[in-house]
Amino acid sequence: MKEKTKVSDIDRNMYDFRYDEKDAYKVQEGLTPAIVEQISKEKKDPEWMREFRLHCLDIYNQIPIPDWGPSIDGLDMDNIVTYVRPNTKMQGDWKDVPQDIKDTFERLGIPQAERKSLAGVGAQYDSELVYHNVKDEVAQQGVVYSDIESALHGEYADLIRSHFMKLVPPTDHKFAALHGAVWSGGSFVYVPEGVHLTIPLQSYFRLNAKGAGQFEHTLIIVEDNAYLHFIEGCSAPKYNVANLHAGCVELYVGKNSTLRYSTIENWSKNMYNLNTKRAIVAEGGKIEWVSGSFGSHTSYLYPMSVLQGRGARCEFTGITFAGKGQELDTGAKVVHNAPDTSSYINTKSISKDGGVSVFRSAVVVKPQAKRSKSAVSCQSLMVDNISRSDTIPAMDIRTNDADVGHEARIGKISDEAVFYLMSRGISEEDARAMIVSGFADNVSKELPLEYAVEMNNLINLEMKGAIG
Amino acid sequence: MNDMRVNTLPSPTWKWLKMNYADVKDVQEAQACSPQVEIPEGSPAVVGRTDAAVYREYRTGVGYDMVKLVDTAGDLAYEVAAEAGQKADKPVVLRMDFDADKSEAIRVVLRAEEGSELTVIMVYRSKKEAAGQAAVQTYLDVKKNAKINLIQIDVLGKGFRFFNDIGGRLEDKGQTDMTNIILGGKEIYEGCSVDLAGRESSLEADIGYFIGNTVKLDMNYEAVHHGKKSECRMDANGVLRDKAEKLFRGTIDFRDGCAGSVGNEKEDVLMFDDGVINRTIPLILCVEEDVEGNHGATIGKLDNDLLFYMESRGIDEQSAYRAIADARLRSLCRKIPDSAIRCRTENYFESGTEECE
């Protein structure tokens, strides 16, 4: 069996395995009020959630498909199964998880990672979480890490109701509305005031079913003076039909707190990844996004930070690697809504083998955001002349008492650098891979070690075969 | 005419930003406008009239609705040309005085035949407090090894809606050096799209705007690289005062086959007062591996160190801002190759009048 943390063993095939959907419960393909009602019934939603889902469906039907990003013509909602429940309940012990699902996550290295370096793990398989656990010492500090459905029916029901899709309203865009209608699974994290969680929590999302959608909802509330690092991973086997991921992440960062949200996205190349992530940051708080986008056929992904309190900060570090058949439209949005706020966006993108990479950003500085600062840097590397790379950064500045800087650069791998490395006995292929890895270094060094290793190997793997 | 959609971004982004294009309401059909043409003595430049039919397929910055607006004037275009091998380095001046309370439009073709050079200054004027609508569409046709130097100066009245549109095509080693100084008007739409079609063709564009009150300035500049080793440099420098609002769209578009090309774009915006709005969207679009594209923007107030330096020498903050704005304008005005027009432009900036001794 392949293991994730062994460098020599990592390749894309480790994600590309599948199991039959044995005894799984599915709704019909398509999107109708009856299907939404059925999902709501299956999930034993409270009445307000049932009504909310139907309201979202109405909104979904009213909002047009976006006409500014990559084509999503290949995505037909009539062919998407919006809810697939694996044949198991959520377990708190690996030994109780069905063997095929357990094998899946073991091949992805999740239990090993939990033992070695995580404070808690959630594992979602298709539409439901199948495993969730948090270490005792973490729970004893008052940290809540559960599936969102349990929170919705338990003591945090009111908290969920007051926060669910308030930061990302269903009117935000078509796929936010879709998410609201058919969401299932995901995690709820609550970090009490003053708690510094020194080791991360992780959720891993695996979409196994052919032609299915995954619509998990992640809601994290970090109270004042606290710290959390949350890691999100995702993958799927490749099919010859479209799969859809339209998750939603809502992050509330309290006063003087820091939340680091790291994502390595490695969906299969038949996936439409139309995900929405948003954080609101209170006075003196900080959101740190670390984002690696490697998979998917088509991506729309722009984590947004609303700097709501005085002195709130945002850092976004991202890398996007678009290979053959991929159109990855990624970036970030920041709204400076209070004085003394600051944002720093630093991204790298690589386009290769016909891949399309688009960096898209928005920095909005409102009139009240006096003394705010923002810096955006995006660098793009073109590895061949059949690929495409675009940068589309927007700035809207409404006070003169702000400093905003932006720089963008597009270029190719330096022939001189390749020549230098080759003159020292390194093959051209390895030299190019080495340069690309170095280019991506600012992101990999922000990731926990084993994820950095995974990312570097993904890049290395993608680069192999690029020559000749 | 009724409404126009202008300055469309070549690759759109989120609608909520309201940057993808500008919609202009209640656009008035235009009458023809006759420019005052000044040809320096001995200049080989030739001025004539043309239907400009061959240029209608050129992409322009403002866009196709501009073609329709200028067509409503029903007039032939004014053509200024330098024939093959001729160097008309002394500037031809096209002075356009727009009448108050009218809608006027004019089309101009600037043509530089192989190995020639043409310098043209276009001045857009009206009475100081006048209101009206003016539209100018300029086509640049730059043949092999030819060069056009174009200086456009907007000193229109405080109530003017102004459309200024450029579309150009450069053949092998063709060059265009463009300076655009925007001082007047109330609602201004500036667009420029230049096709760097030829090998080693190059575009240099310096844009300067100095706007205040409630002036709205909406710009769309595009350099489209088709030719190998083509180069562009676009520098936009501006000062915003009072409640002025500005949107700058700047695109470097590296198309298939433009290997070896370089594009640089830079914007520096000084936001003088707290009520101003600055919006910027600089694009780099790229389908070619062997290119280099760079963009940089600096937006905000004066650097604190610079301000401290000036204040320590007895220059207060307002005077410091004024001095910096003045320096920016004068650096652009130095590119005006006519001392009288340069003087009038500087005076307009300083005192709102073009009077020169």
- Using one digit for the tens of pLDDT, what is the confidence trace for B297-309? 988 888 888 888 8
pTM (predicted TM-score): 0.92
Which pLDDT value is given to residue A466? 46
- Residue in B20, B286, B294 nearest the CB of A382: B286
3-state secondary structure of A337: coil
d(C-alpha B239, C-alpha B222), whole Å: 22
Q: What is the pLDDT of chain B when averaged over all its residues?
A: 94
Kindly report which listed range (A81-90, A318-327, B142-151, B330-339) carries the lowest average pLDDT score: A81-90
Which pLDDT value is given to residue A17? 65
3-state secondary structure of A452: helix
Phi, psi for B350 (deg, rounded to 5)? -75, -40
Neighbouring CB atoms inside 10 A of A419's CB total 12
Evaluate the CA torsion angle B344, B347, B351, B356 in order and state its sign: negative
Which pLDDT value is given to residue A438? 83
Q: Per the CB < 8 Å rule, is B295 touching A406?
A: yes
Q: Is B103 left (phi over 0), alpha (psi -120 to 50) or beta?
A: beta
Which pLDDT value is given to residue A81? 93
The residue-averaged pLDDT of B5-17 equals 97
Stretches in chain A below the pLDDT threshold 70: 1-23, 108, 110-111, 113-117, 448-450, 454, 457-468
Which pLDDT value is given to residue A7? 33
| Distance to chain A for B205, nearest Cα, Å | 19
DSSP assignments along B114-138, one per residue: TT-EEEEEEEEE--TT-EEEEEEEE
d(C-alpha A249, C-alpha A304), whole Å: 10
| Distance to chain A for B34, nearest Cα, Å | 39
- Residue in B12, B19, B289 nearest the CB of A412: B289
Q: Is A416 exposed, middle or buried (0-12, 13-18, 19+ CB in 10 A)?
A: exposed
CA nearest to A78, candidates A190, A213, A171, A197: A213
Q: Is the pLDDT of residue B16 over 90?
A: yes
Q: Where are the beta strands (DSSP E) in A36-186?
A: 84-85, 120-125, 128-134, 144-147
Q: Is B322 left (phi over 0), alpha (psi -120 to 50) or beta?
A: alpha
3-state secondary structure of A15: coil
Angle subtended at Cα A419 by Cα A453 and Cα A438, rounded to the nearest 5 degrees? 20
- Residue in A383, A392, A397 nearest the CB of B283: A392
Q: Is the pLDDT of residue B355 over 80?
A: no
Number of A/B CB contacts below 8 angstroms equals: 133
- Residue in A382, A394, A398 nearest the CB of B19: A394
* Tens digit of each residue's pLDDT (9 = 90 or more) over B29-78: 999 999 999 999 989 999 999 999 999 999 999 999 999 999 999 999 99
Residue at token pair 């307000």: A48
Evaluate the CA torsion angle B92, B333, B132, B25 in order and state its sign: positive
d(C-alpha A303, C-alpha A332), whole Å: 5
| Distance to chain A for B19, nearest Cα, Å | 8
Which pLDDT value is given to residue B319? 87
Q: Per the CB < 8 Å rule, is A407 touching B271?
A: no
Which pLDDT value is given to residue A3? 40
* Tens digit of each residue's pLDDT (9 = 90 or more) over B102-123: 999 999 999 999 999 999 999 9
Q: How many residues does chain B have?
A: 357
* Tens digit of each residue's pLDDT (9 = 90 or more) over B187-207: 999 999 999 999 999 999 999
Which pLDDT value is given to residue A86? 82
Q: Are B281 and A394 in contact (CB under 8 A)?
A: yes
Which pLDDT value is given to residue B194? 98
ipTM more than 0.90? yes
Which pLDDT value is given to residue A39? 96
| Distance to chain A for B237, nearest Cα, Å | 14
